Amino acid sequence: MNFALNLSEYFLMMEDCVRCTPKFVSAIYWALSAWKERPWVTLEFSSLSFSGKVFHTRDLARLTAFLLLFTKDVPTHLLLSEFRLLSAQHVPIRFSSSVFYPVRSYSVPADTCFPMEKEPAFGEPDNPVASVLTDMRTISNTIPEYAYVLNKESYYTLDPLRGNYLTVVWERPQDVTRVEVLTGSDKQGLYRLQQGQVELGYSLLPHSEGCARYALLGPLVEGHLDQRVFYEKDSVEQPSCIRLLVLASQDSWLVIRQIRVWTQPEEEES
C-alpha cells in the first residue's frame, strides 16, 4: 500500500485466486465517477472479504499505520471493517453485482485472514405493498405506480427538473436487504436519468405523505443502482420509503423502468 501512495487517486485491493467479470474495470470506473463528490471510505465490489475493496490513496498512509498497530494473527478483514467505522463510514457500501469471484478450485484454509463471505441468494424481488408519489409531469396513459409494480410497464415523464422526486411509501417499515432502480428504455441507456440518487426514508409521515427524513443509499451509475442495504450496528429503525431524486434538470424524456426491492422474510427476522 505504501508503494501505491503517489501512483493514482484510488487503490483497488486484490488477492490471488480470484476471477473477474467482463468489463469489471468499466464497472468500477463508472461507480467511482458517480461517487466522486460524495463521502466514502471503502467501496466494495465483491462479497469477498478482501478482494474488490477500493480506497482513496490519500487514506492509505493512515490505513497502513492502523494495520501495523496489531499483531499479524489479528484477522485483516476485521481490521478493514474497523478502519471504515473509525473513519465515520458506519455501514458498508456494497454493490449487489459482484465483479470478483473466487476460483472454484481454490481451497481456503480455515484460519485464513481473508475468509469468503457466502454470496447471498436474493431470488426475485418481493416489492411490499406501497403507494407511489411524484411531482414529475405525468404523461397520459402512464401512472407513477408503473415504476414500482413488478411487470413490464414503465413510468414516463418529460423534462425532469432538479429536485423532482418519485417516492415509494410502504404501509409499514420494511427490513430491506437490496434495492435496484432501473431507468432508461433499454440497455443502451436511452431516456435514462443522467444525474440522480436513491435515498431511504425514515419516520413515516401521516396519510402516507412520505418520510420525515432521508439518508443516501447511493447515486445512480449510468442510470442504474443495485446495492445491498446495511444498517448501523444496534439500529432498530427500518426504512419506510424509497425516494428517487433528480439531481440535475434534463431536456428529454425520462423512463423509470422499475424499482425492485428485496426484504427479509418475516419468519427469518430475529
Just give the CATH number of 130-265: 2.60.120.260
Comparing C-alpha atoms, which of 204, 198, 215, 214 is closest to residue 91?
215
Question: pLDDT 10s per residue in the chain (270 long)?
Answer: 888 888 899 999 988 888 899 999 999 999 999 999 999 999 999 988 888 999 999 999 999 999 999 988 888 888 999 999 999 999 999 998 889 988 865 455 444 545 555 666 778 999 999 999 999 998 878 999 999 999 989 999 999 999 999 999 999 999 999 999 999 987 677 999 999 999 999 999 988 789 999 999 999 999 999 999 998 766 778 999 999 999 999 999 999 999 999 998 765 444
The rounded distance, in Å, linking the Cα atoms of 147 and 258 is 5
Q: What is the pTM of this model?
A: 0.87
The rounded distance, in Å, linking the Cα atoms of 135 and 126 is 25
Q: Which residues pair with 156 in a beta bridge?
A: 255
Q: Give every CB contact of residue 108 below 8 A, 6+ residues apart in sequence.
A: 102, 115, 116
- All CATH 2.60.120.260 domain ranges of the chain, comma separated, are 130-265
Residue 121 near residue 222 (C-beta atoms within 8 A) = no
Residue 228 near residue 92 (C-beta atoms within 8 A) = yes
